[in-house]
Every structure is written in structure tokens, then in C-alpha cells.
Amino acid sequence: MVRVDVDPFGQLTPARLTEGMAALRELGAEVVEADLSALPAGRRQVEVLVAGDDPDVLTAEAITLCSKAFGTNPVPGVLTFVSRGTDDDAHGVLAGFGLAGRVQRFPSGEGWDIVEVTLCRADLARVPESRIHTALEASLNSEVRILLE
């Protein structure tokens, strides 16, 4: 998710802000619903959900969409990676640590998944297993087992 300040100087009217949000959706953007007119200038941030793993590309995409929709020179804000608990999310967590691994998912039989992540033993010399494990569990909301090879 990329936060974009679409009205940093507070020049847009409430009607224009509403029109801009509608235009974003018409351009195909997935956005978090917000009443921008209720926010003060400098905090009128749109939260644009974009898929990918390259922060520069994601930010540029969100800025371009917001510029077209609002007719302003938007300012990029914070980029946050949103997890949906998929195997791609697990690979994204690993990539964040500079790691690669195999991800396999198995049903527990009790209504949740068990995710096994196989890593190279040498990689744990750089990144503690506990940090990887915690990040994976938080991202996947599943039981995680780390296997080494």
C-alpha cells in the first residue's frame, strides 16, 4: 500500500477531493475508503493498494494514478507491504531479509495451515532464525516450520 498526499497545500475543495477518489477508482485503482475533506491540509493521504515488490515502481504507479485523478502534484508518503497470508507473501518476507527458500503449505486438519519454509543453513549465519520465523508467522498468520538444508 502506498500512501500519497494528493493535496499537500490544501487547495482542493471537498467536492474535488470526492471527485478525485471516484476518478481513482475509474482508473482501476484499489483504494482504502477515506473522507479526505475531513483531513487537514498536509494529511490528505490516499491509500492506494498496488501489487508488486519494487518500492520505486509501486510508488511511481500510485503517484501517476493520483496525479491523473486529482490533477495535482501529489507527494509520496509511506509504503507499507500488506500481507494476505499467501505463499507470495512468504517469499516477500524472505526477500526482505535477502533470502530465498521453498515454501510448502499443508492443512493442519484443525482448520488452519502449516507452512514449511526450507532455507539454506548458511543463510542463518546472516539472519537469526527467530527473526525470520516471527516475520513469517506475522505475515502468514499460520504455524510456520523452518527446515534447513
The whole-number pLDDT of residue 27 equals: 96
pLDDT (0 to 100) of residue 92: 85
Cell triple for 7: 493535496
Strands 102-107 and 30-31: unpaired
> Does the pLDDT value for residue 26 go beyond 90?
yes
Edge to edge, what strands does the sheet with 2-5 contain?
A: 30-31, 45-49, 2-5, 75-79
To the nearest whole percent, how much of the chain has pLDDT over 90?
Answer: 62
Q: What is the helix (H) or strand (E) element at residue 36, kind and residue range?
A: none
pLDDT tens-place string over residues 63-100: 999 999 999 999 999 888 777 788 888 988 898 888 99
Q: In the predicted model, is pLDDT for residue 5 greater than 90?
A: yes
Pick the CATH number of 2-79 from 2.60.40, 3.40.50, 1.25.40, 3.30.70: 3.30.70
Residues of the chain with CATH 3.30.70: 2-79
CATH number given to 87-148: 3.30.300
Q: Where in the chain is the domain with CATH 3.30.300?
A: 87-148
Query: For the chain, what's the residue count?
Result: 149
Please answer whether residues 69 and 119 qualify as being in contact, where contact means their C-beta atoms are separated by less than 8 angstroms: no
The reported pTM is 0.63
